Amino acid sequence: MSGGEVAGILVAVFWAILVSFIALVLVRLAQTLRAATKLVDDISEQAVPLLADASATVRSANTQLARVDSITADVQEVTANASALSSTVSSAFGGPLVKVAAFGYGVRRAMGRKTEPEPRSTVFVGRAVDKKLPSARFGGRRTRGKG
């Protein structure tokens, strides 16, 4: 065997190994592509009903929001009417009711003064003082400090 024949055999063995390696890679790639295709099909089968359900939920939520908008408008109108009624009642009856309450308080106080005797008081250097003063004002001794 000459050097050219040995080189030819080595190149042929190298090409056989390279072709078998490429064939193995292509087989693995085909398996991966089949698995990916199956996964995409499964996701498509599950996604279509989910999207339909999501679309129905969004439509339902939109209907509910329209109802809430109408309820909010009605509540706002009722609130405005109640505020107007409150201010009307306050302006119509507020002043006279305050006057009647003040008159009633004055009458009660006047009646209360007529029935109660005037309290006796003691005069100290031109000042009238009730007998309910603390003992310190009557000249009692205060103790300061510990004791």
Count CB atoms within 10 A of the CB of residue 129. 13
Q: What is the pLDDT along the chain (147 residues), one digit of tens a residue?
A: 788 899 999 999 999 999 999 999 999 999 999 999 999 999 989 998 899 999 999 999 999 999 999 999 999 999 999 999 988 888 887 788 888 888 899 888 888 876 555 556 555 565 555 555 555 555 555 555 555
Q: What is the dihedral of CA 7, 9, 11, 14, to 10 degrees?
A: -140
Yes or no: say if 130 and 119 are a contact pair by the CB < 8 Å rule.
yes
H or E stretch at 145: none
